[in-house]
Chains A and B, each alone.
Chain A
Amino acid sequence: MSRARRLLIVSGLVLALWGMCYGLLYAVLSEHQALEAMGGSLQTAFTSAAERRMSDAHSAIASYAATKFNYVREVDVHSHWIGLAMVLIALGVVFDRVAFPARVRVWIAASLAIGSAIFPLGVILQTARIGRVASGMAVAGTALVTLGLAAVALGFARRPTSAA
């Protein structure tokens, strides 16, 4: 198995395992609490407004928004890690068909693997309120995956040559 294929398949498997472990821990430790907190906040907001306790209603809405901000990112990071892992594995299976020299294929594989790991990591770090670092990681990860996928598409479209 070539280095590029091995890199994609191993990093895909590790990322899938990591994403599943994260999802399992999140489901057991946090998800139900987050859903209950969101439902409870909305109910509190509406019933408080019905009883004309408007400051309570507004703080409940703020609490709902803050919980949802984290919930959306926590769920997204789980699905994106696993989704990107599946793409890495599927690409790894047929990566020798990418019609580029072996060294270029390794660079493309590394770009995809690193990007797939740090893009969701940047998204989840947004919940820790370290905005610039988190956004920088997400943007860098997105750029790496985008460039990698564009190169793979080009490599698949090219007719294989003996040099490749």
Chain B
Amino acid sequence: MAANRQTLKVTIPLAGGERGFAAMSASRLLMIGGIALIVAGMIFGEIFAVFVLHQNAGRTGQKLLAATLAVAAQDSAGVRAQLQGLGGELEDRGTKVDTHVHLTGFGYLALLLALVQPYLAISERRKRQLAGIFLAGAVLLPIGVFLIHYVGLSYSPFAAIGWASVVADFGGLLLIIAGVWYFTGLLGSRGSAASIAKPEWLNDQSWSGRVLLTGGTLLILLGFLDGAFYAGFELYRHEAVEATLLSSMLDNAAKFNPAAATQDVSDYGHLQAQKAVHIAAHSHIIEFGLMAMLLSFIQPYIFLSERWRRRWAVVLLIGSVILPVFVLLELHIGLLAGGIADFGGLLVVSALIGMLFGVVRHSGRSDASAGAES
């Protein structure tokens, strides 16, 4: 314990650079809010993957099969009804994916904004207001998107837009206002750039920061290579097979061969799953890489012993590799791979919570030292 205290003193000095991290400062709000948004997005993604994704895929497949059987029965009205139901299933899935993506995306943006606060030509009071507006928008938009499927057009005065869309759009408006304000603040700071002290995080040379930066870059590189491989060797083939399967599905249904049509629907579902896991693996590994890089920037604000900062950095990188790799293997080893991928996600969430705990501790220490000085 004493050794840990010693390490803390050496690695994280109290300095003037912490002025921007004062109680209720914009940097602190955005940093804590950003990590909390990423954690919320990740947990939402885990719940979605375990309880919604496969069930939704099953229902989508059933509706496509029912539409194909309606083709066999020459029932045009039945076809339209089943395709409408299929649209509902796709909306259910799409809004949940969007919720997950927006929560984590806004989290990354909040972290970036926390770091550029010293460069903004805006008063500290206005920065706090802007941080509040940004975080309110970043919470409202995903909640609104999530509710779109459930609220629909209930009690809506509009013909095509429901209340949930209105909430999401209002959240988006708040984000646009904050974004434009931040941009003008950045432009205004150009003239006084020379007078701005170099932020503390730019000088950080800690082991955890360097490992997160290197690991993050390697993750992005891996994701990039995976995407290039998929685009070069799989995408065209998948596109051709999709059209062939749809044609075959309809031909077999029209020839009253339901067994063959059912097999086509099953193959079509498998193809969609293949595409989905490739895209999910590609996007997750790159996003985790970007997140690792952003988290490397905030290492000086994580008030934990060097040992624990290293542990959380390693845990985050291990989870960031496990999740996409086992998502990709899900089609080959089935549910076991899905479970391992979820475990990888849990590692990332744990590391994020650990780092969030460190940032909160850093806040407490800053407040205590500010109180002692006054």
Binding site for B on A (CB under 8 A): 39, 42-43, 45-47, 49-52, 54, 57-58, 61-62, 64-65, 68-69, 72, 83, 86-87, 90-91, 93-94, 97, 123, 138-139, 142, 145-146, 149-150, 152-153, 156-157, 160
Contacts and interface: CB of A to CB of B under 8 A. Distances in A.
Contacts of B297: 93-94
A30 B158 CA distance: 24
B243 A94 contact: no
B202 A142 contact: no
B228 A43 contact: no
B71 A46 contact: yes
Given A57-B250, A97-B213, A156-B214, A65 B67 contact: no
Given A45-B246, A57-B247, A152-B217, 16 more contacts: A42-B83, A43-B79, A46-B67, A46-B71, A46-B83, A49-B253, A58-B247, A61-B243, A64-B246, A90-B112, A93-B297, A94-B296, A97-B205, A142-B224, A149-B221, A156-B213
B226 to A, nearest CB: 11
Interface string B217-257: 11011001100100110010001001100110011011000
Contacts of B247: 57-58, 61
B interface, over-half SS:
helix
17 contacts: A43-B83, A45-B246, A49-B71, A50-B75, A64-B243, A64-B246, A91-B293, A94-B293, A97-B205, A123-B231, A138-B231, A146-B224, A146-B225, A149-B224, A152-B217, A153-B221, A156-B214
B54 interface: no
Interface residues of B, number: 45
A55 to B, nearest CB: 11
Nearest to A69: B239
A61 B239 contact: no
B294 interface: yes
A98 B71 CA distance: 61
A51 B74 contact: yes
B83 A50 contact: no
A106 to B, nearest CB: 18
B22 to A, nearest CB: 23
B110 to A, nearest CB: 14
A54 B253 CA distance: 11
The winner among B80, B205, B247 for most chain A CB atoms within 10 A is B247
